[in-house]
Structure 1
């Protein structure tokens, strides 16, 4: 019951359906026509009805919450727009169903493991959203041992019993490298992210294959995905004996930091240096010059992951989801190179 005293019976009367159908719709279960579900959700919103998660949990042994545990330095989360948009997508799904997200940020692996164990033991969440998959990711086995459920962003290296939400970046990276080559770039560097994470490793490997096919020897600098290290890598590249004419960064925040370094050096972008990102944050459209990148739709990741995990929790089964491939978005930060 909400603070206003509205009950599920009131929602049923307003929508012109049975109480049981309201329960199915509000819990996101199958067996409700989409137009009927929308009518019920609209009636609930109009009446200001909100569920009582505690009472629902007592009757169904559900927490009506999903867990997201992030093992990253606080500074990388603070400046990476992916997570804010991803969480917004998750909340879009959960708020419609009167459920919540339990977010925990941890500094290291030991704290991460304790967080999973604590949330599962206390039955505070019904399942977990797994991001930043590692090459040797112990979380899959841990969640299995804890008897919980999960959905992962990306496919684990050793497979997984849990549903996978994936997006193909290979074709986008191929198109990005081809775009730079067609512009005339032959000295192309890649500022790679943390390669303990599978997406950082796979992006770098695909970049190397694409440049090798073009007959170009790539220059690779490794970072932790933070803007600070992106800026330092840019300085090292610009100070090298043969500076690149184009730099592909492992994420957009590093690319923006690199552009700041180039501006401080007095370089004209994109004439003196072309710059690209790889994950399509909206902020890239508002900087100068606007950032060439791959579209990524973090909110779409969140919607797909939350929807799949709720289906797994409620029905016991959920299919893998392949999002549309990341496509090249050409903006103003890339151009033919000019002689310095």
Structure 2
């Protein structure tokens, strides 16, 4: 690989997404914007490709690294028994993992407390009188989804709330399908927490089609404070972190490891809840 000091440095990011999740979802778009803001004027750029799954992601890495296309890699959405951890070490390329959990592997880690976001959502809804709450999760092989699932069910039990989880894939369609299932079942929840804004938008559409009023009959909270969440009708209550700021931390982290720094851990502020028009006290 050419000496990185003699040319522009390049960080690579592969997004492994299902076919029906076209393009870049709003959360990741905000993260990327934050990364690119850090890179501006500092001789570094971000290379992004898409793959159908993590096998495809690894194949892209194997093309990038031996050919000198990238000087570092950003990993997202760590899975159970994720083969990417061994592969990135085998390739010998500097790497940053966004989202956690904390690793024994020598990789810089930008930790996000996913469990606390789930706890905060349930506490906020329980305080509003909701006692039957569903969660529409992302793919359960992702470790951050597992952390949210576990914290969701534990906090439901602590708050004496009936809780259940339906798996989605982060697409708007999966949010719509999961919500239709919840609203036409024998036990209809009074609130739903979605793992991202796109699935919540699908949930809003399903509720409208079924004649369920938001928030009078169903309250909704979505993960991530994005423009999509703020511009929804009604505006979505959110589990909020500074997503753009998260991207700037990732940008600084990958620049630092490309320049030869030892792996380290970055802690980001805990998520909080911002209530908006999609959430109200339980009626009746």
* TM-score, with length taken from structure 2: 0.93
Range with bigger deviation, 195-204 or 153-162: 153-162
Q: Secondary structure at the match of 2:250?
A: helix
* 1:58 Cα offset (Å): 5.6
Deviations 1:223-277 (A, max 9, x none): 1121111100100110011211111111111111101111122222101110111
- Pick closer, same or farther for the CA change 1:273–1:311 going to 2, 3 Å: same
Match of 1:21 in 2: none
Taking CA–CA contacts closer than 8 Å with sequence separation of 6 or more, which of the two structures ends up with the larger relative contact order? 2
Show the counterpart of 2:118.
Answer: 173
CA distance, structure 2, for counterparts of residue 156 and residue 174 of structure 1: 17
* Corresponding residue to 1:161 among 68, 83, 106: 106
Instruction: Give the aligned partner of residue 324 of structure 1.
Output: 269
CA distance in 1, matches of 2:44, 2:216: 50
Distance 2:64 2:183 in 1: 47
Specify every segment of 5 or more residues in structure 1 that has no aligned partner in the other structure, as ranges: 1-53
Equivalent pairs, count: 284
Give, in angstroms, the shift of residue 111 of structure 1. 2.2
Structure 2 distance, partners of 1:58, 1:179, is 52
**Shift in CA distance, 112/318, structure 1 to aligned 2, threshold 3 Å:** closer
Stretches of 4+ aligned residues off by more than 4 angstroms: none
Which residue matches 1:270?
215
Structure 1 residue 194, shift from structure 2 partner: 0.5
Question: Is the Cα contact below 8 Å between 1:281 and 1:296 reproduced in 2?
Answer: no
Residues 194 and 59 (structure 1 numbering): CA distance in 2 closer, same or farther, change over 3 Å? closer
Which of 147, 161, 171 is the equivalent residue of 1:202? 147
Q: How does 1:29-48 map to 2 (within 5 A)?
A: none
Partner of 1:117: 62
Partner of 2:256: 311
Q: Is the 8 A contact 2:96 2:254 kept in 1?
A: yes
Q: 1:59 to 1:252 in 2, by over 3 A?
A: closer
User: How far, CA to CA, are the matches of 1:59 and 1:152 in structure 2?
Assistant: 21
Aligned counterpart, 2:89: 144
> 1:50-129 residue pairs with structure 2 within 5 A?
57=2, 60=5, 64-76=9-21, 78=23, 80-129=25-74
Q: What is the deviation of 1:335? A: 0.9
Where do 5+ consecutive residues of structure 2 fail to align? none
Q: Among residues 222, 238, 247, which one is paired with 1:302 in the alignment?
A: 247
Where is the helix percentage greater, Structure 1 or Structure 2? 1
2:203 corresponding residue in structure 1 = 258
Cα distance in 2 for partners of 1:61, 1:140 equals 29
In 2: Cα distance, 1:85 partner to 1:219 partner:
30
TM-score by length of 1: 0.79
Q: Hey, what does 2:194 align to over in structure 1?
A: 249
Matches of 2:22 and 2:99 in 1, distance apart?
19
Q: Secondary structure at the match of 1:202?
A: helix
Task: Say which structure is richer in strand.
Answer: 2
Hey, what's the Cα distance between the residues in 1 that align with 2:101 and 2:111? 10
Partners in 2 of 1:270 and 1:150 — Cα distance?
43
**What's the offset of the Cα at 1:181?**
1.0
Give the secondary-structure state (helix, strand or coil) at the position aligned to 1:78. coil
* Structure 1 residue 297: Cα displacement: 2.3
CA contact (8 A) 1:311 1:318 kept: no
CA distance in 2, matches of 1:156, 1:295: 19
Q: CA deviation at 1:62?
A: 5.9
